[in-house]
Amino acid sequence: MTNKTILSELATNPSCMDDYDPNSMPVTKARQFIKQFLSPVIETEVLPIRESLGRVLAADILSPANVPNYDNSAMDGYAFNAADISKSTELKVIGSAFAGKAFVGGIQSGECVRIMTGGMMPKGADTVIMQERVNVEGDLIRFTEAPKPKANVRYTGEDLQLGKAVLPIGHMMRAADLGLIASLGIGEVNVYRQLKVAFFSTGDELASIGKPLQEGQVYDSNRYTLYGMLKRLGVEIIDMGAIADNPELLEKTLLNAAKLADAVITSGGVSVGEADYMKQLLAKHGQVMFWKVAMKPGRPLAYGKIQGNQDKHAHYFGLPGNPVAVMVTFYQFVREAMLVLMGQPNPAPLPTFNVVCTENIKKQTGRTEFQRGILFADNDGTWKVKPTGAQGSAILSSMSLANCFIVLSETVGNLDAGALVQVQVLDGLV
Distance, CA of 173 to CA of 195 (rounded, Å): 15
> Is the pLDDT at 273 greater than 60, yes or no?
no
Angstrom CA distances, 6 to 10, 23, 148, 258, 339, stand at 6, 21, 64, 19, 22
Distance, CA of 327 to CA of 33 (rounded, Å): 20
> Is the pLDDT at 308 greater than 90, yes or no?
no
Amino acid 287 reads Q
Q: What is the pLDDT of residue 3?
A: 44
Distance, CA of 117 to CA of 21 (rounded, Å): 63
Q: What is the pLDDT of residues 144-173, one digit of tens each?
A: 988 899 999 999 999 889 999 999 999 999
Nearest alpha-carbon partner for 301 in 329, 282, 328:
329
Distance, CA of 318 to CA of 212 (rounded, Å): 28
> Is the pLDDT at 17 greater than 70, yes or no?
no
The answer to whether residues 169 and 58 touch, using CB atoms and an 8 Å cutoff, is: yes
Cα radius of gyration (the chain)? 30
The answer to whether residues 347 and 395 touch, using CB atoms and an 8 Å cutoff, is: no
Look at residue 5 and give its three-state secondary structure: helix
Neighbours of 19 (CB within 10 A): 12
> Is the pLDDT at 418 greater than 80, yes or no?
yes
Q: What is the pLDDT of residue 348?
A: 86
Q: What is the pLDDT of residue 15?
A: 37
DSSP 8-state code for residue 48: E
Q: What is the pLDDT of residues 312-342, one digit of tens each?
A: 889 999 999 889 999 999 999 999 999 999 9
Angstrom CA distances, 335 to 16, 282, 286, 415, stand at 25, 22, 22, 29
Strand bridging mode 44-48 / 313-319: unpaired
Distance, CA of 34 to CA of 337 (rounded, Å): 7
Q: What is the pLDDT of residue 256?
A: 95
Distance, CA of 243 to CA of 347 (rounded, Å): 33
What average pLDDT does the segment 35-43 reach? 93
Could you tell me which residues come within 8 angstroms of residue 374 by beta carbon, excluding any fewer than 6 positions away? 385, 386, 387, 388, 401, 402, 403, 404
Q: What is the band of 14 on the pLDDT scale with cuts at 50, 70, 90?
A: very low
What average pLDDT does the segment 207-232 reach? 88
Q: What is the pLDDT of residue 178?
A: 96
> Is the pLDDT at 39 greater than 70, yes or no?
yes
Distance, CA of 78 to CA of 85 (rounded, Å): 13
What is the average pLDDT value for the chain, to the nearest integer? 89
Q: What is the band of 395 on the pLDDT scale with cuts at 50, 70, 90?
A: confident
> Is the pLDDT at 429 greater than 80, yes or no?
no
